[in-house]
Amino acid sequence: MSQQQMIEQPPFEMNIVRVIDLAFSVNEKIFKLNAQIEVIFTHRTSWSVENNMFVIDLNSTIHYKDDTTKTPIISLTVQNIFSVKNLQDFIIENGEPQIPINALVTMVSLCVSHSRALMAKNCAGTIYKGILLPLINPLEMTQSFYKNRFENISAVIEE
């Protein structure tokens, strides 16, 4: 373990405050029967130290694999608002929260679960009613979203 990981962190307590279905769109004009799809996940993170809030907006975009333009057939953005007790205790020099890795993985996993549920609900009345977001590895997704957080701990994760 590196020295950075051995630094004692305060206890981490979080709760889900709100889940907001920010945006949903579906394009039924380009429907293809039995075509393979691809899902692209992107995110945006924000926070408010004053309000002890940490926010992850997760965007899920689905397009047909054979579409070189990657025109979305379904797009969903879900805002996940977490309260973090004493968020200021987790702020580092650049002003960014250093959420413990295990908590960050849990948050990303919850974001995907919320998006999966809202996509199923939103697609219910469309031609895409059977499309569901795939199961994902939350650790891998967290690593891809927050690469800088994993630079010094990759050896620990691999063990």
Q: Is the pLDDT of residue 156 over 60?
A: no
Average pLDDT, the chain: 90
| Domain layout of the chain by residue ranges | 3-158
Amino acid residing at 33: L
For domain 3-158, the CATH superfamily is SecB-like (3.10.420.10)
Q: How many angstroms separate the CA atoms of 70 and 58, rounded? A: 18
More confident of the two residues 75 and 9: 75
Tell me: the pLDDT tens digits for 89-113?
A: 998 878 889 999 999 999 999 999 9
Q: Are 78 and 40 in contact (CB under 8 A)?
A: no
Tell me: the pLDDT tens digits for 11-49?
A: 899 999 999 999 999 999 999 999 999 999 999 999 999
Q: How many angstroms separate the CA atoms of 109 and 112, rounded? A: 5
Q: Is the pLDDT of residue 2 over 50?
A: no
More confident of the two residues 116 and 9: 116
pLDDT for position 153: 63
